[in-house]
Amino acid sequence: MKSRSVKASELDIRYHYRQMIYEDTDAAMLTMFEAFLESAPQLILQMYIILTDTHDDSILLHIVQGIAIFGSWISVSGSLVSYQNALRASHSSRDSDVSARGIILYYLWRTCEVGPRMIVFAVFAAQFKYYMLLAVLIPHWIIMSVWEYSKCFQMVNDEDIF
């Protein structure tokens, strides 16, 4: 509201507008975290249940499960696109505006990127059950440890230069 005020000076309007953009970026990042901590595991669980369920259920249940899977998939993809748009807007370059066609293509790209990854996780979980935890957690821990070690090593080297 302060960025749209007629009583405020041009400098105040720009300041409050910039703060609004940064707040929008932070909210988009939190939405992305929520999607990957809630919707992505829910999507994997839903697909796992469909892959391992041997009961012959009604068609209505299959429709509801398909809608739930599609909703989770769209939520994860949408949060990625929303964060990217907010991040582009927070940078002060003139090329921060993306056309509607660009956003649609970016959305399709993220949807086609996230979907197969979730399917692979669900199929792997259905096939190997508890070994999935070992296959996901241990390599993740190793990769993140190496990455953090390399960042620390990079910081030490940068300090030696100065």
Question: Could you tell me if 36 and 56 lie in one domain?
Answer: yes
| Residue 161 shares a structural domain with residue 103 | no
Mean pLDDT of the chain: 79
With cut-offs at 50, 70 and 90, classify the pLDDT of residue 162: very low
- Tell me, rounded to whole angstroms, the distance of Cα 16 from its chain centroid: 27
Examine the domain organization and report whether 33 and 100 are in the same domain.
yes
Considering the domain architecture, whether residues 100 and 48 belong to the same structural domain is answered as yes
pLDDT at 32: 84
- 100 near 59, Cβ under 8 Å? no
Our count of domains for the chain comes to 2
Q: DSSP characters for 54-89?
A: -S---HHHHHHHHHHHHHHHHHHHHHHHHHHHHHHH
**Predicted local confidence at residue 1, as pLDDT:** 64
Write down the pLDDT at residue 112: 92
Pick the more confident residue, 43 or 17.
43
Rounded CA-CA distance 33/94 in Å is 28
Cβ distance 132 to 120 under 8 Å? Answer: no
Please tell me whether residues 110 and 162 are part of one structural domain: no
Query: What pTM was computed for the model?
Result: 0.69
User: pLDDT value at position 157?
Assistant: 57
Highest mean pLDDT among 73-82, 125-134, 135-144: 73-82
41: left (phi over 0), alpha (psi -120 to 50) or beta: alpha
Give the range of the structural domain holding residue 67, as residue numbers without chain letter: 2-129
Q: 157 with 81, same domain?
A: no
Statement to judge: residues 100 and 33 lie in one domain? yes
- What's the rounded Cα separation, in Å, for the pair 83 and 80? 5
69 and 147 part of one domain = no
